[in-house]
Structure 1
């Protein structure tokens, strides 16, 4: 059933490339655990031990707050089609903001999203696959354009203002690092 690997192999990378949805889990030492569904063209494999995902502006900023206290992150992909499979990437993550020296190189890997807020880089310590036999079948019918349209309508200045209003603190009142 479940298998463990020290890093991504080509089969894992091919599976990830075929997925349209992934989930990110983080937690501080105490408080709420956060699990966020992610889609759109926001995930990149850097190498067998490193992945990055671009975080688009949304209603909360829990992942950034959690990583300031605890760098643990899990990213999960699951197949809703064909062969059932769940693939989890465990590791230590860090947050990259537009003000950081790494931003230009990493952001160039992604489309130019108006709502780009952070890039998270995960150094993988464990890859685990499991059966996914209980995951139901779902049909992918396309990306939902709502978030990118919302951000484009606000513009980059409007997005930065939104960060100040909605993204500076987590649900548990933790700083998200957006203002540093």
Structure 2
């Protein structure tokens, strides 16, 4: 679940913050490139203002989101309600990537629980919000968070994570620079 900061006090921000899972979509500029859609969860997202959200990006098998954002910045976050009230919200905007040592990285990671797999922070200036019915989204119950990312990061340790990022997160599947 997300957090809401800086006096953002409206129903939409609270609803976004209450969603246990959301999706981020990005794409490269090349027409033959691969669109990427990734599910996100955990306590990784913050609503920082009326037009700003950010999330902690954990070490994973790919680096598409980071690579696409570095190339063109175009991003869409989608939140879908799986409980009683049907709703889909998309936040369209421009995203930037902050790495350890950047002020934005320190700002956002300071607001969220520490996670050993943290590799970057994505900061999004929201330029468009769309709110849809969500009538086709099924009802589902959340039974808990998977702790596999944390366990894997702890098992690898800082040096193992750095090596993994060097070998697996250097470029995207389309050959764009990653980390």
TM-score (norm 1): 0.91
2:19 aligns with 19
Q: Supply the distance in 2 between the matched residues of 1:101 and 1:46 (Cα, whole angstroms).
A: 14
Correspondence 1:140-155 to 2 at 5 A: 140-155=142-157
Q: CA deviation at 1:9?
A: 6.7
Q: Supply the distance in 2 between the matched residues of 1:98 and 1:21 (Cα, whole angstroms).
A: 25
2:67 aligns with 65
> Secondary structure of the residue that 1:110 maps to in structure 2?
coil
Cα distance change, pair 18–101 in 1 and its aligned pair in 2 (3 A): closer
2:4 aligns with none
Q: Pick 1 or 2: higher relative contact order, CA cutoff 8 A, min separation 6.
A: 1
Q: CA deviation at 1:102?
A: 2.8
2:38 aligns with 36
1:74 aligns with 76
Supply the RMSD in Å over aligned alpha carbons: 1.2
Q: CA deviation at 1:101?
A: 3.3
Correspondence 1:121-132 to 2 at 5 A: 121-132=123-134
1:133 aligns with 135
> Secondary structure of the residue that 1:65 maps to in structure 2?
helix
- Give the aligned length: 170
Maintained 8 Å contact 2:46/2:108: no
> Secondary structure of the residue that 1:54 maps to in structure 2?
strand
Q: Supply the distance in 2 between the matched residues of 1:123 and 1:101 (Cα, whole angstroms).
A: 16
2:176 aligns with 174
> Secondary structure of the residue that 1:102 maps to in structure 2?
helix
> Secondary structure of the residue that 2:103 maps to in structure 1?
coil
> Secondary structure of the residue that 1:106 maps to in structure 2?
helix
Q: Supply the distance in 2 between the matched residues of 1:130 and 1:74 (Cα, whole angstroms).
A: 14
Structure 2 unaligned runs (5+)? Answer: 1-7
Structure 1 unaligned runs (5+)? Answer: 1-7
1:109 aligns with 111
